[in-house]
Amino acid sequence: MFPGEGRGPVPYPRLARRRDRCCAPSLGPGLCRGTAVIETERLILREWRDADRDIFLKTCNTSAVTRFLGGQSTDEQLDAAIARIRACQAANGHCFWAIERRNDRSFLGYCGLKIANRVCPAIEGEIEIGWRLSEDAWGQGYAREAAETTLAWAWANLDAPRIVAMTVPANTASWGLMERLGMTRHADLDFAHPVFAADHPLSAHIVYAIDRPHPR
């Protein structure tokens, strides 16, 4: 989640979604075509539940987690953000899905897809991947595992020609993961975030993208 995100979902053409839980073998174990639930070896990516709210506020709104997001948010701001996430799911069939660890059902944060909003006009309306995990989930490969399966879901279910992501230059962990996912930097798309003053250290944002794989 990035500062100032969300002014409501932007309609985006997508493939028809099935609501069953039947997995398509060609997508790999646990990856279900057209459903909001994705299972990996260690994780479950799913729609948000009311019970997620308190643990998200407790674990994903710390000073460390929000260091590159503009700092900690108020409860009201996070409630509004969760509402936007759930509205995105309802409108578009995807969102920044809640992440559960399979072995103990612990809530770890989120990873998923949204419609890029107006903060960067050059990519407005494109599909954006993003993630935010609690501190105790860092350094264990969860973000990469969730992001890789999110990209696979996107290629299987959406007709987007590419997926974009954004962060700030100082967030080396974030753009480092983008590069490990196969995303490449697009300096021509970099922008100054309108929430921050031009001289603010979080004003400058960099953009990465990955093109749809060629059919085999």
SS3 54: helix
Query: Given the DSSP bridges, would you call strands 127-133 and 162-167 parallel, antiparallel or unpaired?
Result: parallel
Looking at residue 214, its pLDDT comes to: 87
SS3 102: coil
114: region left, alpha or beta (phi > 0 left; psi from -120 to 50 alpha): beta
Q: What is the 3-state secondary structure (H, E, C) of 151-164?
A: HHHHHHHECCCEEE
Looking at residue 1, its pLDDT comes to: 40
Looking at residue 37, its pLDDT comes to: 81
SS3 109: strand
Distance between CA atoms of 35 and 13, rounded to whole angstroms? 17
How many Cα neighbours within 13 Å face the side chain of 28? Answer: 13
Residue reference for tokens 């250290």: 201
Short-list 112, 118, 124, CA closest to 86: 112
24 — phi, psi (to 5°)? -90, 120
Q: Give how far Cα 56 sits from Cα of 84, 99, 186, Å.
A: 15, 11, 31
Short-list 98, 116, 115, CA closest to 107: 98
Looking at residue 31, its pLDDT comes to: 52
Q: Under a CB-based contact definition with an 8 Å cutoff, are residues 162 and 209 in contact?
A: yes
Q: Mean pLDDT of successive 10-residue segments in the chain (216 residues)?
A: 36 31 39 66 96 97 96 96 96 96 97 92 95 97 98 96 97 98 97 93 96 88
